Amino acid sequence: MIAGPALLFCPGDRPERYAKAAAAADTVIIDLEDAVAPADKARAREALVAAASAASLDPATTIVRVNPATTEEFARDLQAVRQTAFTTLMLAKAESAVQVDALASSDDAFRVIALCETALGVTRSAEIAAHPAVIGMMWGAEDLIASMTGRTSRFPDGSYRDVARHARATVLLHARAFGKVAIDAVHIDIADTDGLRAEAEDAAASGFQATACIHPTQVEVIRAAYAPTEEERAWAARVLDEATRQPGVFRFEGRMIDEPILRQACELVRGRR
């Protein structure tokens, strides 16, 4: 469903960047929404259809972000996508399961990644995650704060404010509760590599499967953050080996080891934090 942990947004009206973005990231998100000015949205849709006709993007590793279901652009986006082979859509500002229904008709049957980035969308993220057409959930900090007429999602030190942290955890919990892919929000300070690394490492450790980004230089930082370290892999291998000789709960290298810890070790051996 998601080819890897690094998802890169690419403006829909910049077709010259499509191939580079797709080559740089595990999955490319062609954005018809916020990255495109209102006057350029028609041109972005035309570029998307042209790229599909030229087969320059792999539908298996391409997501198309469409405009919110409450906008006039939404229907126009769907009309354009229907002319392509792309089947995975990201619904911007998703706020209800009913909105997902518009993407899940028998004629379309799109796979949907619901982007919960408003106060209403976050509070309804459980019902959205339960929708059978939804394969993944993502949250967004800046639109969330804007939906509440707030000023900023972060403190001056770069850390998230409590409301953003709550939204992040809520969407993650609901995504995983219904077996859907959980995608962490973008880190908009491109130069803040350390901040991105810390957030991506926390995302991987917490249960997210991917992090979205807005610049190619962020891709490798995200990939490295999601990959277990050699030390983590070695520890996981040792503890799983010891478990073959230990019934039930046991102590190993100073830690209590039980079934949840062994499951975490299995994920490390598979290459996921």
The pLDDT tens digits for 174-199 are 999 999 999 999 999 999 999 999 99
pLDDT higher than threshold 80 for residue 249: yes
pTM of this structure? 0.90
pLDDT of residue 107: 73
Q: Mean pLDDT across the stretch 147-169?
A: 96
> Helix, strand, or coil here: 135?
strand
pLDDT in tens, 88-134: 999 999 999 999 998 887 577 899 999 999 999 999 999 999 999 99
pLDDT higher than threshold 90 for residue 218: yes
pLDDT of residue 106: 58
Contact 185, 212 (CB under 8 A): yes
Contact 219, 188 (CB under 8 A): no
pLDDT in tens, 14-27: 999 999 999 999 99
In whole numbers, what is the pLDDT of the chain averaged over residues? Answer: 95
Furthest CA-CA distance within the chain: 66
Sign of CA dihedral 248, 251, 253, 257: positive
Would you tell me how many other CB atoms lie within 10 Å of the CB of residue 60?
12
Would you tell me how many other CB atoms lie within 10 Å of the CB of residue 54?
11
| Helix or strand holding residue 51 (H, E) | helix 41-53
Contact 187, 218 (CB under 8 A): yes
Sign of CA dihedral 17, 18, 23, 25: positive
**Could you tell me what percent of the chain has a pLDDT over 70?**
99
- What CA–CA distance (Å, rounded) separates 258 from 253? 13
**Could you tell me what percent of the chain has a pLDDT over 90?**
89
Residue showing tokens 């992090």:
211
Q: Mean pLDDT across the stretch 59-87?
A: 96
Structure tokens at 260: 């949840």
Q: Mean pLDDT across the stretch 68-82?
A: 96
- For 111-150, b/e burial (b = at least 16 CB within 10 A) is bbbbbbbbbebbebbbebbebebbbbbbbbbbbbbbbeee
Domains of the chain are 6-226 (3.20.20.60), 230-270 (no CATH)
Give the CA angle between residues 259, 3, 10 to the nearest 5°. Answer: 135
Confidence at 53, pLDDT banded by 50, 70, 90: very high
Contact 30, 10 (CB under 8 A): yes
pLDDT of residue 165: 98
pLDDT of residue 270: 83
pLDDT of residue 273: 74
Q: Mean pLDDT across the stretch 65-72?
A: 97
Confidence at 1, pLDDT banded by 50, 70, 90: low
pLDDT of residue 268: 87
Beta bridge partners of 67: none
